[in-house]
Amino acid sequence: MDLKTNFIGLKMQNPTVLASGILGTNSALMKRVFEEGGAGAVTMKSIGPEERNGHENPSVIELEHGLLNAVGLPSPGFQNMEEEWKELEKINFPLIASIYGANIEQFAAVAKNVALHKPDAIEANISCPNTKEHGQIFGTSEEASQAIISAVKKEIGKIPLIAKLTPQASNIAAIAAGCEKAGADAICAINTVAGMCIDIDARKPILHNKFGGLSGPAIKPVGIKCVYQIFESVKIPILGMGGISNGKDAIEYIQAGATAVGIGSGVFYHGIEVFKKACEEMEHWMKENNVKSLKEIRGIAHG
């Protein structure tokens, strides 16, 4: 059984990836997820253009089948990351840095700085709101997505670029194709799905920010559908995520067309061992189904 995965040049011991935003940017934590958790690659929390505290509490609620969060992209800002980078640069396993900005110039500035520290890949979180267009999410517009991706690509040279998409786009396959044209080396799908909860006794929204992003098991069918559609619209590889908590979920994403699979909320529910366990379950499924390599089943659901 072979779980080894080459994703945009990242040589991974298995296809699992820590999703962005789940365990911050701290090098010791990133190392634990790789060494103890067994992840194939690790994504840092999105780094922004300036220091940001994020939204007030309550900012995360646990629901029956998922999490609703409005942490609001808290970030030390790229200028305050220099000390942490000294440690992060010593990391000798696949490390993906995630970046965001509220306009093209901010994306470019963050990308330029982050690239100096040579992470193995850079993920552009274009699933965040655009200030110029009054909070519209970049990733819902083909034009805005392409503009960001080509601006970031220009700044980061040979470092592979992943475009992280939102399921809120009306045609995510077209957005993905546009990002590929603009220079993305891979697509990551999906970010959270917008949602809201009301405390009926208090008669008020529960999250301080009112609205949040839904993640975890509830969004798996949304992620699977997005990856399936993107697979038919691009040639570049896909990092699939949304609701993965075990090996069978990961196999489902791979059959939809994913090369690598991200786990975010699954870490909250099952701890960092979730990566190791998912890999064992994948191997078990492969053995039972006489599958020797994940390549044999990638995109197989397309018939």
Ligand X SMILES: Cc1cc2nc3c(=O)[nH]c(=O)nc-3n(C[C@H](O)[C@H](O)[C@H](O)COP(=O)(O)O)c2cc1C
Active site residues: 128
In the complex, the smallest distance separating the C-beta of residue 200 from ligand X, rounded to whole angstroms, is 24
- State which of residues 94, 167, 178, 216 lies at the interface with ligand X (CB under 6 A): 216
Span near ligand X by CB under 6 A; candidates 84-92, 104-112, 213-221, 276-284? 213-221
- State which of residues 186, 234, 241, 278 lies at the interface with ligand X (CB under 6 A): 241
Span near ligand X by CB under 6 A; candidates 67-75, 104-112, 174-182, 281-289? 67-75
- Give the integer Cα–Cα distance in Å for 263 and 163: 17
CA-wise closest residue to 6 among 224, 233, 239, 242? 239
Answer yes or no whether residue 243 interacts with ligand X by CB under 6 A. Answer: yes
Residue 239: in which H helix or E strand, if any?
Answer: strand 238-241
DSSP state of 27: H
CA-wise closest residue to 213 among 124, 134, 125, 128? 128
Answer yes or no whether residue 125 interacts with ligand X by CB under 6 A. Answer: yes
Taking residue 270's Cβ as centre, other Cβ atoms within 10 Å add up to 15
- State which of residues 29, 60, 63, 206 lies at the interface with ligand X (CB under 6 A): 60
Q: Which residue lies nearer to ligand X by CB, 96 or 151?
A: 96
Beta bridge partners of 297: none
CA-wise closest residue to 164 among 92, 107, 246? 107
The DSSP result for 142-158, as a single string, is HHHHHHHHHHHHHHHTT
Answer yes or no whether residue 106 interacts with ligand X by CB under 6 A. Answer: no
- State which of residues 29, 63, 71, 196 lies at the interface with ligand X (CB under 6 A): 71
Span near ligand X by CB under 6 A; candidates 194-202, 248-256, 260-268, 288-296? 260-268
CA-wise closest residue to 267 among 87, 45, 98? 45
Answer yes or no whether residue 215 interacts with ligand X by CB under 6 A. Answer: yes
Answer yes or no whether residue 242 interacts with ligand X by CB under 6 A. Answer: yes
The alpha carbon of residue 31 and the mean position of all alpha carbons in its chain are separated, in whole angstroms, by 18
Span near ligand X by CB under 6 A; candidates 1-9, 109-117, 257-265, 274-282? 257-265
In the complex, the smallest distance separating the C-beta of residue 130 from ligand X, rounded to whole angstroms, is 15
Answer yes or no whether residue 244 interacts with ligand X by CB under 6 A. Answer: yes
Answer yes or no whether residue 103 interacts with ligand X by CB under 6 A. Answer: no
Angle between helices 172-181 and 220-231 (to 10 degrees): 50
Long-range contacts of 213-216 (CB under 8 A, 24+ apart): 213/68, 213/69, 213/70, 214/63, 214/66, 214/67, 214/68, 215/66, 215/67, 215/69, 215/242, 215/243, 215/264, 215/265, 216/63, 216/65, 216/66, 216/67, 216/243, 216/245, 216/265, 216/266, 216/268, 216/269
Q: Which residue lies nearer to ligand X by CB, 173 or 219?
A: 219
CA-wise closest residue to 123 among 185, 212, 69? 185
In the complex, the smallest distance separating the C-beta of residue 89 from ligand X, rounded to whole angstroms, is 21
Span near ligand X by CB under 6 A; candidates 30-38, 66-74, 142-150, 270-278? 66-74
145-184: which residues touch ligand X (CB under 6 A)? Answer: 164
Which chain residues interact with ligand X by CB under 6 A?
19-21, 45-46, 60, 67, 69, 71, 73, 98, 125, 164, 191-192, 215-216, 219, 241-244, 263-266
